[in-house]
Homo-oligomer: A and B are copies of this chain.
Amino acid sequence: MDSEQFRKYGKEMIDFVADYWDHLRDRRPVSDVQPGYIKDLVPNEAPEEPESWDAIFGDLNKVVVDANTHWHHPHFFAYYASANSYPAIMGDILSAGLGSVGFTWNASPSMTELEMTVTDWLAKMIGLPNVFLNSDPGPGAGIIQCTASDATLVAVLASRARAAKVHAKEALGEISHEDPLTLINPDSRLFPRLIAYCSEQAHSAVDKAALLGGIKMRKLRTYKENDYGLKADVLAAAIKEDRAHGLIPFLLVATVGTTPTCAVDDVKALGEICQAEGLWLHVDAAYAGSAAICPEYRYLTAGVELVDSFNFNVHKWMLVNFDCSPMWFRDAREATAYFNVDPIFLKHEHQDKTIDYRHLQTGLGRRFRSLKAWFVLRSIGIKGLQENIRNQCALAKQFGELVTKDERFELAAPVHLGLVCFRLKTSNDANKQLLKLVNDDKRIHIIPAQAHGTYFLRLAICSTKTTSEDITFAWNVICELAEHI
């Protein structure tokens, strides 16, 4: 494909994408395909000779689109929102078109500097203190990670390294090696004694980060009467108990907007304990963080002045498509120092004057992810983003009222932001049956969750195309199917 062909076919692809969005409503949110469907559609070896673009283009609907789950369908209410918008797509076209790889400042100055700028913009929009800004003279920094699970893993690894360093003198004797120059030798002697904390409602990505980090993670009890948010006294008691067992508490991953019920841990009170006890405090605000751009939801970042690292998924609720997950460090120099590898082929003359983002992520290469955020923030503006969040919260409220008015149903947790947790008042099994009926029916798509043994259904407002009428439609589908139970 030469440049003239790209001008032709690229524009056809623009129309293909616009047509997809214009006609999304004609589809159902999930497809009918079964595992292995592709074997009948795609050969099992790559072609020796080039194929025409028309042949490839002709396969797109049946191989890719018809067999997909449509995250932006107005009747897709599963998981949490994963954002998208036309300006965001524009950013990805440019990122792909330039094809830069920005592991150091030198390898792509504009990738580094635009990311520094955009993460500062976002920090200010949600009310983070100046210490987290790249433009602040202190050691704080903001970076764009792929997604919240990556940010949590980075927080686990950085806090683990800090704990290993702080407590090194408590470690048992280690087996040494006579050739230190050729040995990478992280201090893992204390790992079996390190313990981190999170709420039992925290995302499974937190559990996974603990497994990957090789450290214990204790999942702390929450209470329904406290809307499933983690309270400070529960953390304080756990720390005390674990210290008595000879363990070393070193990290709390607090959640602002849990996946099951959008619960909010008490970051301010928890942060005071973390400071007093020397724990790293990471806040996973993956979904809810975006809402803090509205003054009425600014309570979501209360206590952030006590935090060591903070993350939210811009790609969830700020009209930027996956992946775009900013993470801020109170002290990026510290995180950098733990995992610093600096081979001669990555050195450059500006190293001491700016950030090399490779130090603040697990991998090396990186894409130009700030472009799409920059385009969205400028093209839509803060007011437009606030309007989208307020609109989606209002739709959740509308659905919550429908649940409350129907005596067969109850809310499983208070409606918070764009999420409604609801259930038939009868048994868990009845609700499992209802979920199956709804998802087999395929007019709408939702997922379940549970808390303290109670199984419930979640309806999350996900698509920018969802209207008040779609909420009524979803409720009618659920009521119709509930009749069969």
Contacts and interface: CB of A to CB of B under 8 A. Distances in A.
Interface in A93-145: 93-101, 105-111, 113-114, 116-117, 120-122, 124-125, 135
21 contacts: A1-B87, A3-B86, A7-B15, A13-B90, A42-B114, A47-B378, A47-B382, A64-B110, A64-B371, A65-B110, A69-B108, A79-B345, A92-B95, A146-B146, A148-B364, A184-B216, A184-B218, A186-B211, A186-B216, A211-B338, A212-B339
Given A105-B35, A382-B47, A211 B339 contact: yes
Contact of A186 (B34, B210, B375): B210
A383 B51 CA distance: 12
Nearest to A216: B185
A480 interface: no
Given A110-B65, A449-B344, A217 B93 contact: no
B51 A9 contact: no
A278 interface: no
A263 to B, nearest CB: 14
Contacts of A388: none
A260 B16 CA distance: 44
B89 A93 contact: yes
A256 to B, nearest CB: 18
Contact of A35 (B9, B98, B192, B354): B354
A381 B50 contact: yes
A223 interface: no
Contacts of A259: 343, 345
Interface stretch (A17-25, A225-233, A264-272, A294-302): A17-25
A18 B14 contact: no
A307 interface: no
A452 interface: no
Given A10-B18, A53-B379, A364-B147, A183 B216 contact: yes
Interface residues of A, number: 171
Most buried by B among A188, A191, A374: A188
Nearest to A361: B149
A113 B182 CA distance: 43
B218 A86 contact: no
A365 B313 CA distance: 11
Contacts of A14: 6-7, 10-11, 14, 93
Instruction: State the 9 A-B residue pairs at the shortest beta-carbon distance, nearest first.
Output: A17-B97, A92-B96, A84-B99, A10-B14, A188-B191, A6-B86, A38-B113, A35-B354, A184-B217
Interface in A140-182: 146-150, 153, 157, 160-161, 174-175, 177, 179, 182
Contact of A211 (B184, B221, B242, B246): B184
Given A6-B86, A10-B17, A46 B125 contact: yes
Nearest to A195: B177
A447 interface: yes
A475 interface: no
Contact of A149 (B15, B31, B174, B362): B362
B6 A18 contact: yes
Contact of A380 (B10, B50, B342, B362): B50
B35 A350 contact: yes
